[in-house]
Structure 1
């Protein structure tokens, strides 16, 4: 079989030799869809580009950095479960492009900043994706100041628009709270992430809005905050059950927290589904195996993270940031009847 060349790719695709050459170099002068088509045909024909030479000519790394949070404080927790799915979705979106992923582990916000500064200064990647957006997030401000392409998994309060994909945390918390109120619950607790995270504030706002709309009083003691781990769920449940007027329903920010709540309930003899109702607002579809399996608000994380990769490629192409933003509404998966509170039964 003859070796694939730029001319043979041009003949197969119908594009000019110049267009094929530019597409294989990854230049912005060729539309992304055209580049992907040409690169796909080149791969089918077995064309091999000299990537080292291409990097020298274009002064690009052809890598996209993904920051993965790893905490040494909770090594026994399952915080890596979600990110494996996120990486899978991003990788699928990059398939057919010239880009590969580079994963950088970071422990905290200071570590994230140092890593980002190294990526930008040393040209370790052409763009970056990260999650856990915070109020007045210094990472976002820095990357905008450097005019460096990035996409966040989560909204921000930045005054300048930037690409993001987000789960509508506020709507999920509102829907979950409203649903429980209609079932007759009046004491509804929220186990939430740390307050410095944007989506923690969004969840609390949705929870608060639903209570206000129903004319229910708000008790700050019913909101328990901490890292999004099973341990936090366990601690939150124990704390809430010590209240004189304890809640009849608990909304958890994610499945890890939900698992901690279920474990603590089992240890204390409190029956979930009868003595108390538990709902999760960030479902990875693992909770279907919990005992009992709770109702959840589900977001297809692989599809969501696929958008992160798509938006990253568009950002690298110079697309207007305000045109590559997406907020996704969760879908209720009802696994429990979420029985009305005892006093309403």
Structure 2
């Protein structure tokens, strides 16, 4: 039994009273409210969400904007599916639904977002792949649309954001490698203008300078976030007249391709070159085991959802302590890919 009319007939009270009881209106006495809620549960009443949304001016949908060319590649789906699990765990408490908004790599992200907003598709948004300068942020802020970003940007409209601790990863990796005798250290960064690349490179540069070392521009490798990108980095690295003795891989998806290219060249991680990367489920199968940085993606998703809801008037009272503008720390997992002493060249 799904219709509110039949529920009212069953209880022998008016449709209006049933509706007000279901929606928590204060002009319904507690005994009537209890009877309505009990009957609704027993009879399997399901509210008409489309009608309710029209009346309330809401959709009960939250959009998660992603760019297919940069994020859903290789193992990127593993990253985001784990984040989605945490996000939806929170939204389910409030009968909200998460929808992935996939922007093609051939379309401008701002144009795509304007189209989504014009359709009134979602009550709030989560933006990922934040650019160094990101016009999407100002666009949403000007329209008072609740949103949170996964990643920082120089464009700051006062919106809440969460970001991975790329500075901490850079600092810990450089300090670890220098302590183990490495002086010629390579790093990677995304191939596009995503802001995390600037953050990571800048901290690596400063960490090296603190040890009296300089970051060689020839040792900054750009790549797509997939196995092919890692494979090409290794080929380019090995082609140098003076290859580095260590490298830090910023993306979790490139280690497999990187290892493969090294293997084909007879170069062994942990013996001939030190490698530090980001954790992925596939890292268990690399030999030697990768020294990497790991985080709970599900917990990150939970924090993203709670942060967004804390910025939405209908839900903010539920999450007064939600994290905002937080750098999410990553844990170093010891492997065997970064030897204790740098190989002599």
Q: Place the TM-score, normalised by the shorter chain, in its bin.
A: 0.7 to 0.9
Q: CA deviation at 1:76?
A: 7.3
Q: CA deviation at 1:83?
A: 1.6
Q: 1:13 maps to which residue?
A: none
Q: After TM superposition, list the pairs within 5 Å mapping 1:107-256 onto structure 2.
A: 107-108=104-105, 110-194=107-191, 196-256=193-253
Q: CA deviation at 1:275?
A: 0.5
Q: 1:64 maps to which residue?
A: 62
| 1:233-255 alpha-carbon deviations (Å, 9 max, x no partner) | 11111111122221111100122
Q: CA deviation at 1:60?
A: 0.8
Q: Give yes or no for contact 1:228–1:253 (8 Å, CA) kept in 2.
A: no
Equivalent of 2:47, from 40, 46, 49?
49
SS for the counterpart of 1:255 is coil
Aligned residues: 316
The TM-score with structure 1 as length reference comes to 0.82
SS for the counterpart of 1:342 is coil
SS for the counterpart of 1:266 is helix
Q: Give yes or no for contact 2:131–2:153 (8 Å, CA) kept in 1.
A: yes
Q: CA deviation at 1:19?
A: 9.0
Equivalent of 1:304, from 300, 307, 312?
300
Q: 2:285 maps to which residue?
A: 289
| 1:103-142 alpha-carbon deviations (Å, 9 max, x no partner) | 2211238443233212221111111112110111011121
1: distance between equivalents of 2:39 and 2:150?
32
Seen in structure 2, the aligned counterparts of structure 1 residues 313 and 185 have a Cα distance that, compared at 3 Å, is: same
| 1:59-87 alpha-carbon deviations (Å, 9 max, x no partner) | 1111011123222x999733322221122
In the alignment, structure 1 segments of 5+ residues that lack a partner are 7-16, 24-39
Q: Give yes or no for contact 1:172–1:206 (8 Å, CA) kept in 2.
A: no
The TM-score with structure 2 as length reference comes to 0.82
SS for the counterpart of 2:199 is helix
For the pair shown, the structure with the greater C-alpha radius of gyration is: 2
Q: 2:254 maps to which residue?
A: 257
Q: Give yes or no for contact 2:288–2:337 (8 Å, CA) kept in 1.
A: no
Q: 2:327 maps to which residue?
A: 327
Q: 1:11 maps to which residue?
A: none
> CA RMSD for the aligned pairs?
3.2
SS for the counterpart of 1:148 is coil
1: distance between equivalents of 2:311 and 2:109?
21
Q: 1:336 maps to which residue?
A: 336
SS for the counterpart of 2:214 is coil
Q: 1:79 maps to which residue?
A: 76
Q: 2:11 maps to which residue?
A: none
Q: Give yes or no for contact 1:191–1:233 (8 Å, CA) kept in 2.
A: no
Runs in 1 of length 4+ with deviation above 6 angstroms?
A: 3-6, 17-20, 40-45, 73-76
SS for the counterpart of 1:129 is strand
SS for the counterpart of 1:286 is helix
Q: CA deviation at 1:303?
A: 0.8
Seen in structure 2, the aligned counterparts of structure 1 residues 287 and 323 have a Cα distance that, compared at 3 Å, is: closer
SS for the counterpart of 1:96 is helix
